Amino acid sequence: MRAVTYSQHGPSSVLTVQEVSTPGPGPGEVRIKVDTAGVNPTDFKVRNAGPAIPFDFQVPCHDAAGVIEAVGSGVDPARIGERVWVFLAAFQRQWGTAAQYAVVPARLAVPLPAGITSEQAAGLGVPYLTAHACLFSDGPLDGATVLVAGGAGAVGHAAIELAVRAGAHVIATVSSAQKAALAHAAGAHVVVNYKEPDAREQISAAARAGVDRIIEVALGANLALDLGVIAPHGTIVTYASEPTDPVLPTRELMNLNVTVRYMILYGFTPVMLTQAVADITDALTEGALSALPLHRFTLDQAAAAFDAVEGGAVGKVILDVE
Ligand X SMILES: NC(=O)c1ccc[n+]([C@@H]2O[C@H](COP(=O)([O-])OP(=O)(O)OC[C@H]3O[C@@H](n4cnc5c(N)ncnc54)[C@H](OP(=O)(O)O)[C@@H]3O)[C@@H](O)[C@H]2O)c1
- Footprint of ligand X on this chain (CB under 6 A)? 40-42, 45, 126-127, 130, 149-150, 152-156, 173, 175, 179, 194, 217-218, 221-222, 239-240, 263-265, 312
Are 24 and 31 within 8 A, CB to CB?
A: yes
Dihedral, CA of residue 87, residue 89, residue 90 and residue 92, to nearest 10? 100
Which amino acid does the sequence have at 249? P
Closer by beta carbon to ligand X, 112 or else 134: 134
- Residue 67 C-beta: closest distance to ligand X, Å: 26
Dihedral, CA of residue 66, residue 68, residue 69 and residue 73, to nearest 10? 150
- Residue 182 C-beta: closest distance to ligand X, Å: 8
CB crowding 64-74: b at 16 or more within 10 Å, else e: bbbbbebbbee
Closer by beta carbon to ligand X, 101 or else 297: 297
Are 112 and 81 within 8 A, CB to CB?
A: no
> Closest CB to ligand X belongs to which residue?
153
- Residue 41 C-beta: closest distance to ligand X, Å: 3
Closer by beta carbon to ligand X, 152 or else 162: 152
Closer by beta carbon to ligand X, 67 or else 230: 230
Closer by beta carbon to ligand X, 68 or else 126: 126
- Residue 24 C-beta: closest distance to ligand X, Å: 30
Three-class SS of residue 89? coil
CA distance 76 to 16: 35
CA distance 241 to 219: 8
- Residue 129 C-beta: closest distance to ligand X, Å: 8
CA 191 to chain centre: 21
Closer by beta carbon to ligand X, 82 or else 216: 216
CA distance 277 to 232: 31
- Residue 3 C-beta: closest distance to ligand X, Å: 23
